Amino acid sequence: MKILLVEDDVGIAEPLAKGLEREGFEVIRAANGLDALEAPAADVVILDLRLPDIDGYEVCRRLRARSQVPIIMVSARGEEVDRVIGLELGADDYIVKPFGFRELVARIRAVTRRTGAPLEHRAVLRVADLELDRRSRRASRAGRELPLTPREFDLLALLMDEAGAALPRTRIMEEVWDSHWYGPSKTLDVHVASLRKKLGDPRWIETVRAVGFRLGSPNGG
């Protein structure tokens, strides 16, 4: 996946680019707004608001006018009005400096899931007799297709991507729903219950007390 990183501060841009490359992303760097607008097409744009030439909001507006590429705004300003302006101009997410690298990666994955942009993950996932194909958005168990809703599909994809790992509820909500989700987290439990039923065995999705959920394998495959 190609990421356009728009950041004029070399001290921030260089380590961030190296970290993203270690995660398997291809990074295109731009140090100002004009370079960002002339850069090759990317799958996700990480856009700093404070640029030396064009205001980041204006860059966002111009990018959105010609493309639906997911845009994550980055700013030291965390006031609600700044976030609202960014989102209204077409940004898909807004993260405030300083931020954790893992949080940024999680947000990249979240916007790509929500917008349907290409993911760096494997296209086809298999755990025992459970199979999921991201390209066709189909999942099956023992050769039988599962009638999943879009949310259930994304939830299962996340769990299969890190099968055996305990995923925190907050991360699941951010990646499958939205980092700006303000509804009750109980919706996650409802979807897990439905997914367990469709999988045919509740042991496929294990509850990890005080953490979240983990994909298991009832038949030990």
Q: What is the pLDDT of residues 191-217, one digit of tens each?
A: 999 999 999 999 999 999 989 999 987
Residue 83's alpha-carbon distances to 77, 102, 108, in angstroms, are 9, 21, 17
Q: What distance in Å separates the CA atoms of residue 176 and residue 179, rounded to the nearest whole number?
A: 9
Give the pLDDT of residue 114.
67
Q: What distance in Å separates the CA atoms of residue 169 and residue 21, rounded to the nearest whole number?
A: 27
Give the pLDDT of residue 10.
93
Task: Enter the tokens of residue 79.
Answer: 């006031």
Residue 65's alpha-carbon distances to 43, 57, 89, 132, 134, in angstroms, are 16, 12, 10, 34, 28
Q: What is the mean pLDDT of the chain?
A: 86
Confidence of residue 67 (pLDDT cuts 50, 70, 90): confident
Side-chain-side CA neighbours of 203 within 13 Å: the count stands at 5
Exposure string over 173-190, b if 16+ CB within 10 A, otherwise e: bbbbbbbeeeeeeeebee
**Could you tell me the pTM of the whole model?**
0.56
- ∠ CA(158), CA(153), CA(73), 5° rounding? 60
